[in-house]
Amino acid sequence: MRRAMSVRAALTMSAIVVAALLGTACQKGKGQPPIGKTSKSLADSADQIIFGQRTLITDRGLSRAEILADTSFFFDENTRIEMRKVNGTFFNSAGMKDALLTSKEGLYNSRFGVLEARGDVVITSLDGRRLTSPMVHFDQRINQLVSDSSFVLTEPNGREIRGIGFKSDPDMTNIKIDRVISAKGGAVAVPDR
């Protein structure tokens, strides 16, 4: 009888050890499976996604810009558009082309009338002036480009200005620079008498 008790005790003890080991093994498997880095994309929370999208920016019936995007994600009842691969055209008060814009990304908020271009922003006027910056805002209500980022402005005559922060009209004829870092002069045309 003593031997039967010790066999039962040994079996019971073995069962407890096995159960404990299985419980520990099961706890290690809890949580997320190892599937790599998980990140939320814009597509996960967008109200709508459009490929090859075109947006017209107007002010009191006057066209201010036409923005084309490879991919657009709409949010906030379609008043905020996150765009990828942006190409834009700005128009003057007569409705004529003023300047062209390209950037990797953009955000247009129709409630505030603001377009924000981000990532390798390039704005080129029709007469050849070229401005590059990491970020530029366009306020459609006052038809003005604004940035507090670094920029480089080059002109066809060879002039170049590097600075931080500016305000300008889209064709860059009236530009106010907050801080000039460096400037290089170019050719100056002297009129004949």
99/53 Cα distance (integer angstroms):
20
Structure confidence at residue 13 (pLDDT): 62
In this prediction, residue 46 has a pLDDT band, given cuts at 50, 70 and 90, of: confident
Residue 15 DSSP class: H
Structure confidence at residue 179 (pLDDT): 92
Token digits of residue 60? 């009191």
State percent of the chain over pLDDT 90: 41
In this prediction, residue 95 has a pLDDT band, given cuts at 50, 70 and 90, of: confident
84/107 Cα distance (integer angstroms):
9
Structure confidence at residue 65 (pLDDT): 87
In this prediction, residue 11 has a pLDDT band, given cuts at 50, 70 and 90, of: low
Q: What is the mean pLDDT of the chain?
A: 82
Q: Specify the CATH superfamily of domain 46-184.
A: Lipopolysaccharide (LPS) transport protein A like domain (2.60.450.10)
Residue 125 pLDDT > 50: yes
**For range 27-41, the mean pLDDT:** 58
**For range 89-100, the mean pLDDT:** 87
Residue 40 pLDDT > 90: no
**In 3-state terms, the chain is what percent helix, strand and coil (to 5)?**
15, 55, 30
Segments making up each domain of the chain, as ranges: 46-184
26/23 Cα distance (integer angstroms):
5
DSSP assignment string, 66-133: EEEEEEEEEETTTTEEEEEEEEEEEE-TTS-EEEEEEEEEEEEETTTTEEEEEEEEEEEETTS-EEEE
Residue 1 pLDDT > 50: no
Query: Residue 27: what are its φ and ψ, rounded to 5°?
Result: -65, -35
**For range 56-84, the mean pLDDT:** 88
Residue 78 pLDDT > 50: yes
